[in-house]
Amino acid sequence: MPPNGTPVGDRSTDAIGVFDSGVGGLSVLRALHSELPLEKFVYVGDSGHAPYGERDDAHVIARSHSIARYLIELHHIKALVVACNTATAAAIKLLRQDFPDLPIVGIEPALKPAAQSSHTKVIGVMATRGTLNSEKFGSLLASLHGQATFVLQPCDGLADAIEHADATKTIAACAYSTGAMGQFGHESGAIDTLVLGCTHYPFATDILRSLVGPNVTFLEGGAPVARQTRRLLAERHWLAPAATDADPAALFRRMPAFFTTGNATNLHTAVERWLQVQADVQFIRIA
């Protein structure tokens, strides 16, 4: 592996790195594993330095670069998925500059598909302040000018409440955010599509559904990220080889490895609850 982390040669059996500020990226990992079941994934939850959405860009950029370097140097990843809207908005451009030959996939709020599918053309967007205030989000929003009305809602504290499995705070934050956005439903002028612009928020879907009703469409970004990751690996012929019964490494490739800079028990509980798998979670320090 060259010093700058440039992948060379046949990388088909190497892992895909995935990182988020905490447990939220598990929603993206779930989509990735569904799309790419033969791949091995290494997941880093940077809970010890969260929440990203309420920190400045310099903090998010520094953490993103450190985690990318860790995944490249210690796990020899063949691709990197930035499974955090805030980190994508703040850092992905610089990550691609620093590691130009490493396939890097980011995530962004699903505004484009929302504009295409909404009937009332009024779309709610729940996200962190870091995402909503970013230049990348502003450009995305500007590109859709005139196609729909977007009701932007910064959800202070929601990602952190989900991160710590605090049901009371999660319910309160969801209730406040949806209450501040206005009317939901199919009536003219009502929000009929809700974009979940933080990877933590899909894990509050049941709560949100109880608040906005059954007729609102929820959109998140995990599936498009998974499809883009597949496409980039296929272009390079780096997709994991098909498994056979005689391949003892196949099962190993399917089992993600989980690391956290925060409380390992929190991530372990989240993995069991939301991915429904038993997994070891290791605490690590990433400077």
Query: What length is written for the chain?
Result: 287
Closest residue by Cα to residue 168 from 178, 157, 179: 157
Q: What phi and psi values does residue 153 have, to the nearest 5 degrees?
A: -130, 110
The CA distance from 88 to 108, in Å, is: 7
> Residue 75: enclosing H or E segment and its boundaries?
helix 57-75
Number of Cβ atoms within 10 Å of the Cβ of 229:
25
Secondary structure class of 270 (helix, strand, coil):
helix
For the annotated catalytic residues, the residue numbers are 84, 198
Contact present, 107 and 134 (Cβ < 8 Å)? no
Count helices and strands in the chain by DSSP H and E runs: 12, 10
- Residue corresponding to tokens 């059954």: 214
DSSP state of 237: T
Strands 193-196 and 217-219 come out as: parallel
